[in-house]
Amino acid sequence: MPTIIVDKKEYRNNSAFVQVTGTINSANGKQVQFTTLCLIDTGFYDGVFLPNKFYQLAKSIGVDLTQTHTLLADGSETVTFSCLGAIQKIENYSFVSGKKEVMILICAEPSTDELFESTSDLIGMGALQYFTVTFDGPNQVFTISESV
């Protein structure tokens, strides 16, 4: 029987959001912890996408950030920085092993749009590959369970 992580959580503004707690990890063992509300984005193939405000935090602990380009849903590209990180919790569920390693992308440019900056955090398929996510659009709820 799969472990239920999120059970029938209601959509917010017609979209599925989850609270994610994790870390951005440096090679020297230092970490920056984050807790953020992430949109579940099945078209995003990496792990977690964080806004620019995490860039300086990551640099301050010596994270080796690799510059890359990320394709956005509208077909445009944006410059991002990638690094390894881990997810420790989704909503109130803590992983038995302590974490799920994922690729973290940090947006290179600060947003001038306050709405975008507050809703731009994403959790994508790179992180959700460990789970089964069931969307019930008509009832505006979703469930996440660990894959067996």
Q: Quick one: tokens of 81?
A: 């920085």
Please tell me the predicted confidence (pLDDT) of residue 107.
84
What are 33-60's pLDDT values in tens digits?
999 999 999 888 889 999 888 888 899 9
Contacts 24+ apart (CB under 8 A), 132-136: 132/2, 133/16, 133/40, 133/42, 135/16, 136/8
Query: Taking 80 as the threshold, does the pLDDT of residue 32 lie above it?
Result: yes
Domain that holds residue 30: 4-146
What are 67-84's pLDDT values in tens digits?
988 877 777 888 889 998
Residues whose CB is less than 8 angstroms from the CB of residue 148 and which lie 6 or more positions away in sequence, other chains included = 1, 2
CATH number of the domain at 122, please. 2.40.70.10
Count the domains in the chain: 1
What are 104-131's pLDDT values in tens digits?
888 877 655 454 444 578 999 999 988 8
Please tell me the predicted confidence (pLDDT) of residue 111.
56
Between CA 79 and CA 23 the distance in angstroms is 21
Give the helix ranges, DSSP H, for the chain: 53-60, 114-119, 125-128
